[in-house]
């Protein structure tokens, strides 16, 4: 066995030092995602810290074209995260922001630092399948009902996240994803887009939800809270009987937390 | 063409209400990506083909002056007359002059987005000329007095039923019922034949100009381009300076991707190269040929931040893959070029002030850039245009200030924590019973279309600091 292959199995006693970038949406709307992420990372033999002064990666201002307001925030995020060995983010779009857009936005020394950070920053499911490979727990965890998966655009196209969550659902939970039609089409969230162009966004999220419902799955999951809040909000508006949960919650068997947008008091 | 880009939201709203058209757009949006991906798979390694294409396009633009000079020399050598037009008006008057020199009264046209951009048809019509579009889609919308809704398939918004009604209204059909689309195509062909035979001037566009031999290249599916080019005595090719390619083999490289990206065909039915006027011994062909090259802000783009947009080969794939284009259709964009490419081009060719809604009609989903055969980073260019919009303070001030404030607060962790630790538990309490809000005063854009999910009890940072391992503890 050569060095490389050996390195692929961090089941040895050396654990990896990981900083969790919680993301603002998980921090504010869905702590369950962050707790689940920590649990999964620990299960993959990582030592997790949560840098306390983190807030938001800056996507709202950046995507709206306010680069001037984003630059100082991006620098701040770099300062907070760069001491880490690895940075893990439970969101494709926030990981994409750090990996792809910080280097595009910043210049000079800051660009170099952004590239450095990008090289050790990973979206959660990618990290768990490619860097710290998670092993299933010996005891069978919660049995999951049928699941369909929404491929969030930023994760899909900026970070090639496609197989990773499916593989994890298969390996950790023993479920195969029921694929939804038009899975590579946007759900209409788009950050501030959904509030700036609500009618168009409404049409798009309506279509996405129809496709999800057509799979007959009980749970719709995905890796990006922005999309999931959008979808959950629409599902609630239409009164659909569909549970929407983040992939991290499912992977660690958390079905106790009420689904996104539901009270659990039904 | 009158521009209505800044009423994009209203235009879109209208379009969404037209359920018949919306349905057809939905089915097209399902179909065209399938056709494209099957055709692209067939072509071999898409990524290396498009990188090759990109290199060629970049090289051509890097040396644009050189290749334009070469093209001009070769084209003149082939017997063409060359004209350069700085803007739309110049192009229109050059074309009118040529028509008038020949006492022409009837003009037939092949499909050309460039002349849509300059508003050539109405200009010539005002001067008393009879202008007939001969591409079936263009013909249909000309009869209906509408504008193209797609750069490749201009009458995409029309149903067969609407076309039948239109022909019934405009043509002398007699007893013919035009039962199916074949009948309708035959009908249009019949009518157009007459026009081809009578016209004194033919006008076509070009997909590429080849510097090394002075040829212009045109792809069509109906062969109408060839009829426009060969039947009338005078031919005018109208296109823009950025269409230039160095060599014939570069045009071949482009052909490998163009039709596949556009319609999912491996090749269009006709690919024509026009050299110049007919020579002694030729059985047909025009006696006089002109090439009019339009700049219209292209040379500005060449030295500006959006230069990559000049690499566009007008395949329309970005339109076919854009979920926003699929939702609202081409007319909502309010000018000549719709979809992602149009949302970049329109502000550059008109003004950002008149069209700043368009760069916002994007979720940065990246599906357009993924399929673009010229590898143009459309979402990045659109974001850069939003950056300009911000700098020029064209967006609503409550948005601009709100986002600035958010970015600033996000840099003050203590303040951010204090604020969120107050607001989130409050929101939780208010929304706890239903789990989501049907209305929220500061988020009406959101709540018009969907509920606003209520947060969990406290922020993660609050819970984590208190040493909790799960949000419910
Ligand atoms: S931007 Fe790209 S995909 Fe869109 S029309 Fe131009 S070449 Fe085709």
pLDDT digits 0-9 by tens, B14-49: 999 999 999 999 999 999 999 999 999 988 899 999
Q: Is the domain of B383 the same as that of B403?
A: no
Within a domain: A34: yes
Within a domain: B307: no
Q: Is the domain of A244 the same as that of A200?
A: yes
Instruction: Single out the residue of B122, B123, B118 nearest to residue B142, CA to CA.
Output: B122
B40 lines ligand 1 (CB under 6 A): no
Q: Is the domain of B332 the same as that of B279?
A: no
Ligand 1 closest atom vs CA B261? 8
Which DSSP letter does residue B306 get? T
Between these two residues, A2 and B85, which has the higher pLDDT value? B85
Distance B308 CA to ligand 1 centre (A): 11
Q: Is the domain of B379 the same as that of B449?
A: no
| Residues of chain A contacting B383 with CB distance shorter than 8 Å | 62-63, 65
Please say which residue of B374, B395, B416 terminates a domain: B395
Q: Provide the 3-class DSSP secondary structure of residue B235.
A: strand
Q: Note whether B380 contacts A: Cβ–Cβ < 8 A.
A: yes
Domain that holds residue A194: 147-251
Q: Is the domain of A117 the same as that of A24?
A: yes
Query: Quick check: B8 and B325 in contact, CB under 8 A?
Result: no
B342 lines ligand 1 (CB under 6 A): no
- The pLDDT score that the predictor gives to residue A4 is 37
Please say which residue of A105, A131, A157 terminates a domain: A131
Between these two residues, B141 and A141, which has the higher pLDDT value? B141
Q: Is the domain of B383 the same as that of B405?
A: no
Q: Is the domain of A163 the same as that of A235?
A: yes
Within a domain: A177: yes
| Residues of chain A contacting B442 with CB distance shorter than 8 Å | none
Question: For chain A, what is the domain count?
Answer: 2
Q: Is the domain of A169 the same as that of A202?
A: yes
Q: Is the domain of B328 the same as that of B410?
A: no
Please say which residue of A69, A104, A131 terminates a domain: A131
Q: Is the domain of B326 the same as that of B433?
A: no
Q: Is the domain of B458 the same as that of B407?
A: yes
- The pLDDT score that the predictor gives to residue B469 is 65
Q: Is the domain of A218 the same as that of A159?
A: yes
pTM of the predicted structure, to 2 decimals: 0.95
In chain A, count H helices and then E strands.
15, 7
What's the whole-number mean pLDDT along residues B67-86? 98
Q: Is the domain of A120 the same as that of A157?
A: no
pLDDT digits (tens, 9 = 90+) for A51-102: 999 999 999 999 999 999 999 999 999 999 999 999 999 999 999 999 999 9
Write down the ipTM of this complex. 0.94
CA distances from B60 to B52, B251, B372 (A): 12, 12, 18
Q: Is the domain of B120 the same as that of B3?
A: no
| Residues of chain B contacting A61 with CB distance shorter than 8 Å | 403-404, 406-407
Query: Quick check: B444 and B462 in contact, CB under 8 A?
Result: no
Within a domain: B386: yes
Question: For chain B, what is the domain count?
Answer: 3
pLDDT digits (tens, 9 = 90+) for B379-398: 999 999 999 999 999 999 99
Within a domain: A11: no
| Residues of chain B contacting A22 with CB distance shorter than 8 Å | 460-461
Q: Is the domain of A161 the same as that of A89?
A: no
Asked whether the predicted pLDDT for residue A2 surpasses 60, the reply is no
Q: Note whether B471 contacts A: Cβ–Cβ < 8 A.
A: yes
Domain that holds residue B2: 1-42+316-395
Q: Is the domain of A79 the same as that of A170?
A: no
Within a domain: A92: yes
Distance B372 CA to ligand 1 centre (A): 5
| Residues of chain A contacting B344 with CB distance shorter than 8 Å | none
- The pLDDT score that the predictor gives to residue A5 is 38
Please say which residue of A131, A159, A193 terminates a domain: A131
Distance B381 CA to ligand 1 centre (A): 13
Asked whether the predicted pLDDT for residue B172 surpasses 90, the reply is no
Question: Per residue in A23-51, is it b (16+ CB within 10 Å) or e — as a string?
Answer: bbbbbbbbbbbbbbbbbbbebbbbebebb
Q: Please provide the average confidence, as pLDDT, over all residues in chain B.
A: 95
What's the whole-number mean pLDDT along residues B269-295? 94
pLDDT digits (tens, 9 = 90+) for B175-228: 788 888 899 999 999 999 999 999 999 999 999 999 999 999 999 999 999 999
Q: Provide the 3-class DSSP secondary structure of residue B371.
A: helix
* End-to-end C-alpha distance for chain A, whole angstroms: 55
pLDDT digits (tens, 9 = 90+) for A152-192: 999 999 999 999 999 999 999 999 999 999 999 999 999 99
Interface test with A, best of B27, B391, B401, B407 (most A CBs within 10 A): B407
B236 lines ligand 1 (CB under 6 A): no
B374 lines ligand 1 (CB under 6 A): yes
Q: Is the domain of B216 the same as that of B327?
A: no
- The pLDDT score that the predictor gives to residue B175 is 79
pLDDT class of A136 with cuts at 50, 70, 90: confident
What's the whole-number mean pLDDT along residues B50-61? 95
Asked whether the predicted pLDDT for residue A9 surpasses 60, the reply is no
CA distances from B300 to A246, B44, B242 (A): 47, 36, 12
The residue written with tokens 């309506």 in the block is A206
Within a domain: A261: no
Please say which residue of B264, B299, B334 terminates a domain: B299
Query: Quick check: B358 and B386 in contact, CB under 8 A?
Result: no
Q: Is the domain of A100 the same as that of A206?
A: no
pLDDT digits (tens, 9 = 90+) for B294-353: 999 999 999 999 999 999 999 999 999 999 999 999 999 999 999 999 999 999 999 999
Instruction: Single out the residue of A16, A217, A262 nearest to residue A128, CA to CA.
Output: A16
Asked whether the predicted pLDDT for residue A266 surpasses 50, the reply is no
Within a domain: A173: yes
Using CB atoms, which residue from A62, A65, A153 is nearest to B365? Answer: A153
Distance B317 CA to ligand 1 centre (A): 6
Helices (H), B236-275: 248-262
- The pLDDT score that the predictor gives to residue B349 is 97
Q: Is the domain of B457 the same as that of B350?
A: no
Please say which residue of B299, B326, B358 terminates a domain: B299
Q: Is the domain of A205 the same as that of A105?
A: no
Q: Is the domain of A155 the same as that of A109?
A: no
CA distances from A70 to A56, A73, A74, B84, B405 (A): 10, 5, 6, 43, 11
Within a domain: B436: yes
Q: Is the domain of B113 the same as that of B251?
A: yes
Within a domain: B304: no
Within a domain: B162: yes
Q: Is the domain of B59 the same as that of B185?
A: yes
Q: Is the domain of A109 the same as that of A160?
A: no
Torsion of CA B245, B251, B254, B258, to 10 degrees: 110
Q: Please provide the average confidence, as pLDDT, over all residues in chain A.
A: 93
Within a domain: B309: no
Nearest CA in chain B to A54: B413
Within a domain: A5: no
Within a domain: A7: no
pLDDT class of B473 with cuts at 50, 70, 90: very low
Within a domain: B418: yes
């Amino acid at each position: 066995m050569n060095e490389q292959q050996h390195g692929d199995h961090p089941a040895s006693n050396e654990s990896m030092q990981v900083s969790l970038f919680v993301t603002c949406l998980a921090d504010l709307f869905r702590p369950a995602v962050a707790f689940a992420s920590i649990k999964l990372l620990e299960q993959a033999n990582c030592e997790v810290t949560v840098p306390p002064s983190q807030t938001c990666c800056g996507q709202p201002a950046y995507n709206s074209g306010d680069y001037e307001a984003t630059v100082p925030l991006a620098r701040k995020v770099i300062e907070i995260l760069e001491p880490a060995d690895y940075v893990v983010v439970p969101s494709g779009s926030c990981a994409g922001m750090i990996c792809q857009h910080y280097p595009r936005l910043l210049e000079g020394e800051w660009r170099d630092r952004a590239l450095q950070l990008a090289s050790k920053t990973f979206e959660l499911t990618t990290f768990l399948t490619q860097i710290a490979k998670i092993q299933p727990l010996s005891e069978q965890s919660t049995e999951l009902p049928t699941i369909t998966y929404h491929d969030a655009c930023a994760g899909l196209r900026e970070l090639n996240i496609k197989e990773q969550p499916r593989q994890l659902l298969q390996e950790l939970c023993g479920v195969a994803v029921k694929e939804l039609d038009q899975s590579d089409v946007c759900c209409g969230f788009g950050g501030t887009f959904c509030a700036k162009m609500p009618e168009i966004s409404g049409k798009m999220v309506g279509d996405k939800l129809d496709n999800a419902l057509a799979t007959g799955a009980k749970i719709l999951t995905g890796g990006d809270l922005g999309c999931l809040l959008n979808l959950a909000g629409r599902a609630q508006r239409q009164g659909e009987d569909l549970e929407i949960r983040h992939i991290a919650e499912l992977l660690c068997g958390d079905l106790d937390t009420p689904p996104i947008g539901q009270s659990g008091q039904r | 063409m009158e521009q209505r880009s800044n009423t994009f939201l209203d235009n879109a709203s209208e379009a969404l209400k037209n359920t018949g058209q919306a349905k057809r757009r939905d089915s097209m949006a399902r179909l065209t990506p399938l056709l494209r991906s099957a055709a692209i798979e067939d072509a071999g390694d898409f990524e290396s083909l498009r990188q090759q294409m990109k290199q060629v396009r970049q090289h051509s633009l890097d040396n644009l002056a050189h290749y334009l000079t070469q093209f001009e020399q070769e084209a003149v050598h082939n017997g063409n007359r060359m004209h350069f037009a700085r803007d739309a008006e110049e192009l229109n008057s050059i074309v009118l002059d040529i028509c008038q020199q020949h006492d022409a009264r009837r003009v037939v046209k092949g499909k050309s987005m460039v002349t849509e951009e300059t508003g050539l048809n109405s200009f010539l019509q005002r001067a008393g000329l009879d202008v007939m579009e001969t591409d079936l889609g263009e013909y249909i919308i000309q009869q209906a007095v509408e504008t193209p809704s797609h750069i490749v398939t201009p009458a995409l918004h029309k149903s067969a039923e609407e076309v039948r009604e239109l022909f019934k209204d405009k043509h002398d059909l007699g007893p013919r019922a035009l039962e199916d689309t074949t009948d309708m195509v035959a009908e249009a062909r019949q009518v157009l034949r007459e026009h081809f035979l009578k016209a004194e001037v033919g006008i076509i566009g070009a997909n590429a100009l080849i510097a090394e031999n002075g040829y212009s290249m045109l792809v069509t599916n109906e062969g109408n381009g060839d009829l426009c080019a060969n039947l009338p005595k005078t031919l005018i090719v109208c296109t823009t300076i950025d269409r230039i390619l160095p060599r014939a083999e570069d045009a071949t490289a482009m052909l490998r991707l163009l039709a596949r990206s556009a319609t999912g065909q491996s090749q269009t039915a006709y690919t024509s190269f026009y050299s110049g006027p007919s020579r002694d011994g030729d059985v047909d062909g025009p006696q006089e040929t002109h090439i009019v090259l339009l700049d219209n802000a292209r040379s500005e783009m060449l030295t500006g931040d959006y230069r990559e947009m000049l690499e566009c080969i007008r395949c329309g794939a970005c339109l076919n893959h854009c979920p926003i284009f699929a939702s609202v259709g081409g007319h909502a964009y309010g000018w000549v070029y719709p979809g992602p490419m149009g949302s970049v081009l329109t502000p550059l060719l008109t003004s950002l002030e008149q069209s700043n809604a368009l760069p916002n009609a994007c979720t940065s989903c990246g599906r357009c850039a993924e399929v673009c055969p010229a590898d143009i980073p459309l979402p990045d260019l659109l974001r850069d245009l939003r950056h300009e919009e911000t700098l020029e303070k064209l967006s609503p001030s409550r948005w601009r200030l709100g986002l600035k404030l958010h970015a600033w607060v996000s840099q003050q962790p203590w303040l951010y924590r204090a604020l969120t630790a107050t607001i989130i538990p409050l929101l939780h309490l208010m929304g706890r019973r239903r789990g989501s809000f049907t209305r929220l005063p500061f988020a009406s854009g959101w709540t018009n279309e969907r509920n606003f999910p209520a947060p969990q009890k406290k922020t993660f940072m609050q819970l984590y600091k208190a040493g909790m391992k799960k949000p419910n503890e």
